[in-house]
Structure 1
């Protein structure tokens, strides 16, 4: 079979961002043309023209370049025999008026009506089309407030409406200012609604509730964080235990790391049964990022006596943390060493000291002290400090191999 001839694509058909043929070329006020999908994604985070670096207003509407699109379509049709893919005419994007009208429909309906569900589903379809539509929705006055109101009013009585509103709001990537406003209006009602959703059996809705809870708690003040009800942490731990999905697991871990900066919350998380669940997760051999987040959570929890006691009480807790040293990443090693230092400093009974030697934890710490290429100076210092805490018991322990005894810090 004759090999297809390579066709050179005209440079002005190529998007400067994706370096692919533009399917929906649009022009910014700076005069530069980009593919709509690429420039909308860029503007969400950067707010400037990629080539000129000039600022672009948040409400900027790029102008469709119909002439260039038709040229691209004609060129693609002309070279179809050479394997060039046809470029279809793009669907017109939603305008601000249409999105605002859908939001107005939400205001005009009740939480139990079919009209509310229809309006939410239409709004979800619009939001799912592009980053531009999601950006438009987030900017419509009152849009986020009405979605939150649907969630708080429908979490138990009309779960379908709550599910749709949750999915929409989780797709919007709300700003810190917007989240702060939501929290100020009624964070308690929203948190209780999310807890109600987490208690249901719908895995997708539970995952969305965890995402919104992560965003909300990240924007909370310390005073609000410390007032979170215990049921929040019970449901978070249950979501970890149920292994709904890897993204949901990471979301929950982010929530636990963020909320346990407050000492009282550490005790709540421990009492919710988090420590054995986290250790079992390490036993399952998670990916690098999940391992790091799991160890970061355990590190937080070992900042309280209850957390350290739960770790030591677990049959493989100390050994599993020691196993993570020099195995996953520099960050994971640092968190594991911090945990072991907390245990050695505050919970080191004779049995625990012996266990740390027998399970190879002491040997791992010796390797950390000497591993300048793999560990930071601060991690090596922590490992050395931990070894010196029980040097009498460990330095000449028969469990410590001779080559590791030579590495033992003075």
Structure 2
């Protein structure tokens, strides 16, 4: 065989992408795909149809992928024949783990009092999760395994961080499982995660933050209200330390989910959230991060303590005003809402004067003139009506703005 003849045959390429097919599997429509690629198509991209035929696939069935052993052997033979030309033969893929195997592993670890058995079981579960997307999916849908790992975290032993690192690999969407974990020892999981955040490295802190966000999404209002100041202190500290962009977003999401309740707003403020959010808004250039920071700050300005903290920050009002119309319609809406809370509930003469000097009034007038959300314009107009008289009579007010202020 001449070197020029060595082209990768068509069956050796995955129909979804141009990556090499290593573990061919056939779906119910008769089309064969590389296992990793079709699992990504189904589970990561949330598709339930065959990419080629567009026919529906029964993706809820754990056995909807059938290994194509004949094609796999042909590919391996082709690799062996072309080894002199630098083609490497890949090993026979391991079959995906089954739920029965995972359940037996969990049951054996739960029934044993041996610390060594527990460690081996956790290590095995982590190995399973890292082997393939199919294994990860199997773990995600085995509630007993998720609950077992959560119990290990709650037990507050040295294996908690290892168990947490496995959960960090998974996408846990079953609310029943999450509610079961939350009910364990009256929400002890939050306490255990906070302890991990207090004494662990950046990776473990990020994992803990991610799981806390997932839990608070599934928690009942009574469980969210039961959060303590030290929970918020660790979340705020994580934001301050800039552990990772993903951890920052998870921390902001946690605050957004926890702070609709007044008690939690005060707790977040006491934990220093307002100043950290302002600093984040000064430094961040990532759109989604900015939007989430605006959303949380809007909630915190719903209480007197939050407004006082914003005003005490030297750049508080200035950064809120500056970012309006520069990030997104969503951020602008939240920014104007923040200014409205300040103007209506904390609008002392000194604050009103400060808003003028910092250019807040100019920005509000600009909001009325540009293309933005109707509700945002209404809020801006309301602010100008509240203190229009004081600003009109001020020598600091620019002349071109005086005519824009509503009567």
TM-score, normalised to structure 1, is 0.88
Specify the alignment match of 2:127 in structure 1.
Answer: 125
Shift of 1:57: 2.8
Specify the alignment match of 2:110 in structure 1.
Answer: 107
Specify the alignment match of 1:227 in structure 2.
Answer: 226
Specify the alignment match of 2:141 in structure 1.
Answer: 139
Shift of 1:400: 3.9
Q: Distance in 2 between matches of 1:28 and 1:173?
A: 24
Aligned residue runs from structure 1 range 5-404, under 5 A:
12-44=11-43, 45-50=46-51, 51-73=54-76, 86=88, 88-96=90-98, 97-110=100-113, 113-140=115-142, 142-153=144-155, 155=156, 158-159=157-158, 161-175=159-173, 176-372=175-371, 375-395=372-392, 397-404=394-401
Q: Distance in 1 between matches of 2:23 and 2:186?
A: 41
Shift of 1:341: 1.0
Contact 2:49 2:56 (C-alpha < 8 Å) held by counterparts = yes
Could you give the per-residue CA deviations for residues 15-35 of structure 1, whole angstroms, max 9, x where no partner exists? Answer: 343354433221123322222
Change (3 A) 1:6 1:406: farther
Partner-residue secondary structure (3-state), 1:92: coil
Change (3 A) 1:6 1:228: farther
Could you give the per-residue CA deviations for residues 149-208 of structure 1, whole angstroms, max 9, x where no partner exists? Answer: 10000x2xx23x101101112222112232123223445211111121121142211111
Could you give the per-residue CA deviations for residues 313-352 of structure 1, whole angstroms, max 9, x where no partner exists? Answer: 2222111111111122222212111111111111111111
Shift of 1:391: 0.8
Q: Distance in 2 between matches of 1:81 and 1:64?
A: 28
Residues paired across the two proteins, number:
399
Change (3 A) 1:386 1:9: farther
Contact 2:102 2:145 (C-alpha < 8 Å) held by counterparts = no
Contact 1:325 1:337 (C-alpha < 8 Å) held by counterparts = yes
Q: Distance in 2 between matches of 1:288 and 1:207?
A: 21
Change (3 A) 1:180 1:76: same
Shift of 1:385: 1.7
- Structure 1: 5+ residue stretches without partners: none
Partner-residue secondary structure (3-state), 2:249: helix
Q: Distance in 2 between matches of 1:393 and 1:346?
A: 16
Structure 1 window deviating more from structure 2 (44-53 vs 226-235): it is 44-53
Contact 1:106 1:146 (C-alpha < 8 Å) held by counterparts = no
Contact 1:28 1:63 (C-alpha < 8 Å) held by counterparts = yes
Could you give the per-residue CA deviations for residues 103-146 of structure 1, whole angstroms, max 9, x where no partner exists? Answer: 23421344x82332222122111102222112212333521221
TM-score, normalised to structure 2, is 0.89
Shift of 1:397: 4.1
Shift of 1:81: 9.7
Contact 1:47 1:58 (C-alpha < 8 Å) held by counterparts = no
- Structure 2: 5+ residue stretches without partners: none
Q: Distance in 1 between matches of 2:5 and 2:330?
A: 47
Contact 1:388 1:409 (C-alpha < 8 Å) held by counterparts = yes
Structure 1 window deviating more from structure 2 (85-94 vs 248-257): it is 85-94
Shift of 1:74: 5.5
Could you give the per-residue CA deviations for residues 45-76 of structure 1, whole angstroms, max 9, x where no partner exists? Answer: 34444431233334225122233234445566
Contact 2:255 2:296 (C-alpha < 8 Å) held by counterparts = yes
Partner-residue secondary structure (3-state), 1:54: coil
Change (3 A) 1:11 1:385: farther
Change (3 A) 1:12 1:383: farther
Q: Distance in 2 between matches of 1:81 and 1:113?
A: 49
Q: Distance in 2 between matches of 1:329 and 1:74?
A: 55
Q: Distance in 2 between matches of 1:150 and 1:312?
A: 44
Note the aligned Cα RMSD (angstroms): 2.7
